[in-house]
Structure 1
Amino acid sequence: MNVEWRDFLERAGAHWDSDSVIHFGQLDAESNAALRGDVCCDLSHLGLIAVHGPDAERFLQGQLTCDVRQVTPEHSLIGAHCNPKGRAVADFRLFQREDAYFLELPRTMVDPLLLRLCKYLLRAKAVLENASDALARIGVAGPNAASLLESAMGAVPATVNSVIAADNMIVIRLPGLQPRFELHGAARELGAIWNALARDLVPVGTESWRLLDILAGIPTIYPATMEAFVPQMINLQQLDGISFQKGCYTGQEIVARTHHLGKLKRRMYLARVDSATPPRPGDPLFSPQADASQSAGQLADACRHPNGGYAVLAVALIECAEQGELRLGDAGGPVLQLEPLPYEFDGAA
């Protein structure tokens, strides 16, 4: 990772596990602050793929579920890349900076996605590279996040997915129960913003930011869940992550058929669960209402909740989730308690 940025965070009190900040010395207090207060978080656990060149837009348009033409210096989108069977290999946030597109996703997914995308590059005049250490990045969230950032930077994006550029940085507004923002830039400039906000924000570790993503209903594909879900199963259509008008892309036929036939049998739910061991992405779900020949579903994401137990995103059979019960693991596992997501579903879902 960026050495200058890591040195800055260590001086700020960061405790590390590989490329992720575990905490800044007060794990429980930081988790509570993420739910109720104003926080800032290092996002080095996320990596970046840069795509540039004359054919960059055309190439990405033929590979991603979102409409790349809508991604501009002022607007970003969530999207996914699928295999030919319409299963999501990875999902990400796509944004522009200067003359390049950037795909932001977990560092563990950067190399697998680069490998897949390069197979489709062929003669396209585009360059794909791992740019994870080219920029530093932080997240800022909380009821006062917008006003605090505006005081420090002069302006903030007004709507979800919108982007502004300021002082060699870009700021992206994210979905969330409270205002949330990502900042990308050079370590020195980003460190100055961190210091300017330090008196009003609580620094938190990676797990706290993942909790905010989960509560916002934002899915993340990990190595354990690669090619497990059609994009609609992880609610990407509710997050503007799928375009049904853009034309062909890898896996588009299956994604479009699922949409137009309205036969989605699984979707993603937010839930809480009390478990003796930490649940993990890919863990199986059981339901007594499920046919013995099929799985009731699996976890897309999970992390500890400061109020007890774990917050999870579970991709499950709709019938079992809404008319039966879901258990983690097997028939003797803990029951998932469903909670409302911050967005609604259309009739087909």
Structure 2
Amino acid sequence: MNPNWRSFLESAEANFAADATDVLDFGDASGELLAAGRQTVLVPLTHLALLSAEGEDAKRFLHNQLTNDINHLADGKAQHAGWCTAKGRMQASFVVWHSAGRYDMVLAADLLEATRKRLQMFVLRDKVKLAAGDDTVLLGLAGAQAGEALGDAGLALPEAPLAIAVSGNVTVLQIEPQRYIVAAPLAAAPALWQQLGGKARPAGVPAWRWLDVQAAFPLVTLATKEEFVPQMADFEKIGGVSFHKGCYPGQEVVARTQYLGKVKRHLYRLSADVPLKAGDDLFSPDNLEQAAGKVMTAAPSATGGHVALAVVQSNFAANLRLGSREGEPVSAIAVNPA
């Protein structure tokens, strides 16, 4: 994180995690979670980062690497996409948009540098420049007054989910109704934070992760890198996979998985009385051979307890435990019931 942005957030009374990355809260963690469900919140998305690709071959390069159809991604539109290994396992997930000849991709911050370096290995002779958005700040805005807050700050509103609107050097992405990601230059971020804060309450990253769980927004992080083929995370159900485009890394595995219908694991919402975190293994007393699932995204719940998104083996979802077969019980409900 840029030290100037961190200093600003600290001056706004942000409390950081022990590893000095994510903003945990602004002094009232439980109140901020309640606000995420009932009011409008403004969140510094320190757990996310921006990777850009530009150059005359950027479209072709990304189309040949990602799970979705980049060739037909229109200017001003966004889509989900994954980047897989040759075995079809997701090593990163993105929300990608195209604007002014450049492709911007939001991904987990803890995968940014490794993803950039590894993608760079495949550039070869293509005329593509990959760059980490170190001078860009990502803000999250969610709630009934989010649109008004953006308007008060002089920012245009996207017309629909998975669309963007550009106002000068600030981009607003609508990821679902009443929820937005704002990408702004570092120099403009403090003033923009103050403007948006007129109608939105500052909140920590856990509040945003709680919203992700409610929206079933699957995010691959370092803790879950190379753990899932896209269909295990129901990634194709949110439009993150094209089955009509040409080859990309892992395409044969992903296609075979789709058309043979052999996916036994899917995305579930979890609830538990104990904390959950990305990468936690789930077990079932009914399965003595291996883990029955893994947590993708987790957060404290606005109503008490803890919630998460997890990839779970469906036939064991009714009897899950955290960490071991003798662990704390975890309740699971399928995001997309069969």
2:302 and 2:256 map into 1 onto residues whose CA distance is: 40
Is it true that 1:203 corresponds to 2:221 in the alignment?
A: no
Query: In the alignment, what sits opposite 1:283?
Result: 280
Distance in 1 (alpha carbons) for counterparts of 2:190 and 2:75: 23
* Residue 150 of structure 2: aligned partner: 149
What's 2:95 paired with? 93
- CA–CA distance in structure 1, aligned partners of residues 95 and 117 of structure 2: 18
| CA deviation after TM superposition for structure 1 residue 293, in Å | 2.8
Q: Where in structure 1 are there 5+ consecutive unaligned residues?
A: none
- 1:23 partner amino acid: D
User: Hey, what does 1:304 align to over in structure 2?
Assistant: 300
Worse-superposed segment, 113-122 or 241-250: 113-122
The structure 2 residue matched to 1:337, chosen from 317, 328, 331, is 331
Aligned to 2:171: 170
**2 CA distance for matches of 1:167 and 1:59?**
27
> CA offsets, 1:116-148, max 9 Å, x none?
2122222211122222x2211211001221233
Superposed CA deviations along residues 93-112 of structure 1, whole A, max 9, x for unmatched, are 11234332222112210122
Give, in angstroms, the shift of residue 35 of structure 1: 1.8
Provide the rounded CA distance (Å) in 2 between the counterparts of 1:154 and 1:303: 30
One-letter amino acid of the counterpart of residue 66, structure 1 = N
C-alpha RMSD over aligned residues? 2.0
**1:56 matched to which residue of 2?**
58
1:154 and 1:119 map into 2 onto residues whose CA distance is 37
For 1:45, give the aligned amino acid. Answer: H
1:264 aligns with 2:263: yes
Deviation per residue, 1:233-289 (Å, 9 max, x gap): 1111111111111111110111011111122111110111112xx322222111233
Q: Does 1:328 align with 2:330?
A: no
CA drift of 1:154 comes to: 5.4
Provide Cα deviations, 1:188-234, integer angstroms capped at 9, x if missing partner: 43433322232321100111111111221111212221111001111
Question: 2: distance between equivalents of 1:339 and 1:150?
Answer: 37
The answer to whether the Cα contact below 8 Å between 1:2 and 1:136 also exists between their aligned partners in 2 is no
Identity %: 36
Q: Is the 8 A contact 1:97 1:170 kept in 2?
A: no
What does 1:52-131 align with in structure 2 at a 5 Å threshold?
A: 52-131=54-133
Deviation at 1:339, TM superposition (A): 4.2
Instruction: State the AA in 1 paired with 2:186.
Output: A
What TM-score does the superposition give when structure 2 sets the normalisation length?
A: 0.92
Deviation at 1:336, TM superposition (A): 2.0
Shift in alpha-carbon separation, 1:13–1:295, aligned structure 2, 3 A:
closer
Q: Deviations over 1:26-54 (max 9, x none)?
A: 22211211122100011133122221111
Is residue 289 of structure 2 the alignment partner of residue 293 of structure 1? Answer: yes
Aligned-partner Cα distance in 2 for 1:293–1:332: 14
Count of aligned pairs between the two proteins: 336
CA deviation profile, 1:37-80 (whole Å, cap 9, x unmatched) = 10001113312222111111111111101111243431111111
Residue of structure 2 in register with 1:318 after alignment: 314
1:294/1:7 CA distance change after superposition, 3 Å: closer
Partner of 1:180: 179
Per-residue CA deviation, residues 284-332 of structure 1 (Å, 9 max, x unaligned), is 1112333x334312111212113222111111111222xx322222222
Contact 1:50 1:130 in 2 (8 A): yes
Gaps of 5+ in 2: none
Per the alignment, in what secondary structure is the counterpart of residue 333 of structure 1?
coil
Scaled by the length of structure 1, what TM-score is found? 0.90
In structure 2, C-alpha distance between the alignment counterparts of 1:286 and 1:154, rounded to whole Å: 47
Is the 1:81–1:89 contact (alpha carbons within 8 Å) kept by the matching residues of 2?
yes
